[in-house]
Amino acid sequence: MKLRVVDIEAMKRQGPPSLLDSLGIEITRITEDFIEGTMPVDHRTHQPLGMLHGGASVALAETLGSIGANLCVDPKTHYCVGLDINANHISGMRSGILTGIAKPLHVGRTTQVWEIRMTSDEGKLVCVSRLTMAVVAKKPA
Protein backbone atom coordinates (compact mmCIF):
# COMPACT_ATOMS: atom_id res chain seq x y z
CA MET A 1 0.00 0.00 0.00
CA LYS A 2 1.34 3.41 -0.94
CA LEU A 3 0.78 6.62 1.02
CA ARG A 4 -1.25 9.37 -0.62
CA VAL A 5 1.22 12.19 -1.26
CA VAL A 6 -0.32 15.47 -0.11
CA ASP A 7 0.82 19.09 0.00
CA ILE A 8 2.47 19.57 3.40
CA GLU A 9 1.68 23.29 3.57
CA ALA A 10 -2.02 22.67 2.85
CA MET A 11 -2.05 19.92 5.49
CA LYS A 12 -0.59 22.36 8.07
CA ARG A 13 -3.44 24.81 7.46
CA GLN A 14 -6.07 22.20 8.35
CA GLY A 15 -7.31 22.12 11.90
CA PRO A 16 -6.59 24.13 15.03
CA PRO A 17 -3.23 24.45 16.84
CA SER A 18 -2.19 21.17 18.44
CA LEU A 19 0.59 19.27 20.21
CA LEU A 20 2.66 19.61 17.04
CA ASP A 21 2.78 23.37 17.56
CA SER A 22 3.62 23.07 21.26
CA LEU A 23 6.56 20.72 20.63
CA GLY A 24 7.73 22.31 17.37
CA ILE A 25 7.05 19.19 15.29
CA GLU A 26 7.32 19.77 11.54
CA ILE A 27 6.36 17.39 8.75
CA THR A 28 9.23 17.66 6.27
CA ARG A 29 8.58 15.04 3.60
CA ILE A 30 5.83 12.72 2.42
CA THR A 31 6.48 10.08 -0.23
CA GLU A 32 4.57 7.00 -1.34
CA ASP A 33 6.80 4.93 0.97
CA PHE A 34 7.35 6.99 4.14
CA ILE A 35 6.66 10.18 6.06
CA GLU A 36 9.43 12.24 7.68
CA GLY A 37 9.26 14.88 10.38
CA THR A 38 11.46 16.75 12.82
CA MET A 39 11.26 18.02 16.39
CA PRO A 40 13.67 20.35 18.18
CA VAL A 41 15.39 19.04 21.28
CA ASP A 42 15.16 22.06 23.58
CA HIS A 43 13.39 23.28 26.75
CA ARG A 44 10.02 22.13 25.32
CA THR A 45 11.13 18.54 24.87
CA HIS A 46 13.59 18.08 27.77
CA GLN A 47 13.11 16.05 30.91
CA PRO A 48 14.42 17.55 34.21
CA LEU A 49 18.03 16.39 33.60
CA GLY A 50 18.21 18.38 30.36
CA MET A 51 17.92 15.40 28.01
CA LEU A 52 15.28 14.53 25.44
CA HIS A 53 12.14 13.33 27.22
CA GLY A 54 11.08 9.84 26.14
CA GLY A 55 7.47 11.01 25.94
CA ALA A 56 8.46 13.69 23.43
CA SER A 57 10.04 11.01 21.22
CA VAL A 58 6.82 9.01 21.48
CA ALA A 59 4.80 12.11 20.55
CA LEU A 60 6.89 12.51 17.38
CA ALA A 61 6.51 8.80 16.59
CA GLU A 62 2.74 8.78 17.04
CA THR A 63 2.37 11.98 15.03
CA LEU A 64 4.27 10.56 12.06
CA GLY A 65 2.64 7.14 12.19
CA SER A 66 -0.85 8.58 12.61
CA ILE A 67 -0.51 10.94 9.68
CA GLY A 68 1.00 8.18 7.57
CA ALA A 69 -1.77 5.73 8.47
CA ASN A 70 -4.46 8.22 7.55
CA LEU A 71 -2.74 8.78 4.20
CA CYS A 72 -3.25 5.05 3.47
CA VAL A 73 -7.04 5.06 3.76
CA ASP A 74 -9.85 6.76 1.86
CA PRO A 75 -10.65 9.78 4.07
CA LYS A 76 -14.27 9.74 2.85
CA THR A 77 -14.90 6.30 4.33
CA HIS A 78 -12.25 5.59 7.00
CA TYR A 79 -9.91 7.14 9.56
CA CYS A 80 -7.13 5.74 11.73
CA VAL A 81 -6.50 6.11 15.45
CA GLY A 82 -3.71 4.88 17.70
CA LEU A 83 -4.23 1.51 19.34
CA ASP A 84 -0.80 0.75 20.83
CA ILE A 85 2.67 2.28 20.82
CA ASN A 86 6.02 1.26 22.23
CA ALA A 87 9.43 2.88 22.12
CA ASN A 88 12.99 1.79 22.73
CA HIS A 89 15.20 4.70 23.74
CA ILE A 90 18.62 3.82 22.34
CA SER A 91 20.68 6.92 23.13
CA GLY A 92 20.25 10.30 24.80
CA MET A 93 20.14 13.69 23.13
CA ARG A 94 20.52 17.13 24.74
CA SER A 95 20.09 19.52 21.81
CA GLY A 96 19.62 19.69 18.08
CA ILE A 97 16.95 18.33 15.78
CA LEU A 98 15.43 14.87 16.13
CA THR A 99 14.35 13.44 12.76
CA GLY A 100 11.83 10.64 12.49
CA ILE A 101 10.98 8.46 9.51
CA ALA A 102 7.80 6.38 9.67
CA LYS A 103 7.29 3.41 7.35
CA PRO A 104 4.37 0.99 7.22
CA LEU A 105 5.13 -2.62 8.15
CA HIS A 106 1.54 -3.78 7.66
CA VAL A 107 -1.44 -2.01 6.09
CA GLY A 108 -4.55 -4.11 6.57
CA ARG A 109 -8.30 -3.70 6.45
CA THR A 110 -8.69 -3.18 10.23
CA THR A 111 -5.17 -2.46 11.53
CA GLN A 112 -1.88 -0.96 10.44
CA VAL A 113 1.57 -1.36 12.01
CA TRP A 114 4.21 1.35 11.58
CA GLU A 115 7.90 1.52 12.47
CA ILE A 116 9.34 4.93 13.32
CA ARG A 117 13.13 5.38 13.54
CA MET A 118 14.38 8.62 15.11
CA THR A 119 17.92 9.93 14.68
CA SER A 120 20.01 12.90 15.83
CA ASP A 121 21.54 15.57 13.60
CA GLU A 122 24.63 13.35 13.36
CA GLY A 123 22.59 10.36 12.21
CA LYS A 124 22.88 8.55 15.55
CA LEU A 125 19.91 6.28 16.35
CA VAL A 126 18.04 7.79 19.31
CA CYS A 127 14.74 5.90 19.42
CA VAL A 128 12.84 3.15 17.60
CA SER A 129 9.07 2.96 17.98
CA ARG A 130 6.33 0.65 16.74
CA LEU A 131 2.78 1.98 16.42
CA THR A 132 -0.37 -0.05 15.85
CA MET A 133 -3.28 1.86 14.35
CA ALA A 134 -6.96 0.88 14.24
CA VAL A 135 -8.67 1.51 10.89
CA VAL A 136 -12.20 2.75 11.64
CA ALA A 137 -15.10 3.01 9.18
CA LYS A 138 -16.90 6.34 9.27
CA LYS A 139 -20.58 6.16 10.10
CA PRO A 140 -22.89 7.19 7.23
CA ALA A 141 -24.21 10.73 7.57
Domain boundaries, the chain: 8-137
Give the pLDDT score at 12.
80
Q: Is the pLDDT of residue 15 over 90?
A: no
- Where b means 16+ CB within 10 Å and e means fewer, 110-123 reads eebbbbbbbbbeee
* CATH class, 8-137 region: alpha beta
Q: What angle do CA 1, 16, 58 make, to 5 degrees?
A: 55
Q: Is the pTM of this model over 0.75?
A: yes
Element (H, E) at 34: none
Q: How many CB atoms lie within 10 A of CB 89?
A: 17
Contacts 24+ apart (CB under 8 A), 27-33: 27/64, 27/67, 28/99, 30/3, 30/5, 30/6, 30/71, 31/3, 31/5, 32/2, 32/3, 32/5, 33/2, 33/3, 33/103
pLDDT at 34: 98
Distances, alpha carbon 89 to alpha carbons 51, 52, 54, 93, 127, in Å? 12, 10, 7, 10, 5
Return the active site residues: 62
Per-residue pLDDT of 48-99, as tens digits, reads 999 999 999 999 999 999 999 999 999 999 999 999 999 999 999 999 999 9
Q: Is the pLDDT of residue 128 over 90?
A: yes
Is residue 23 over pLDDT 90? yes
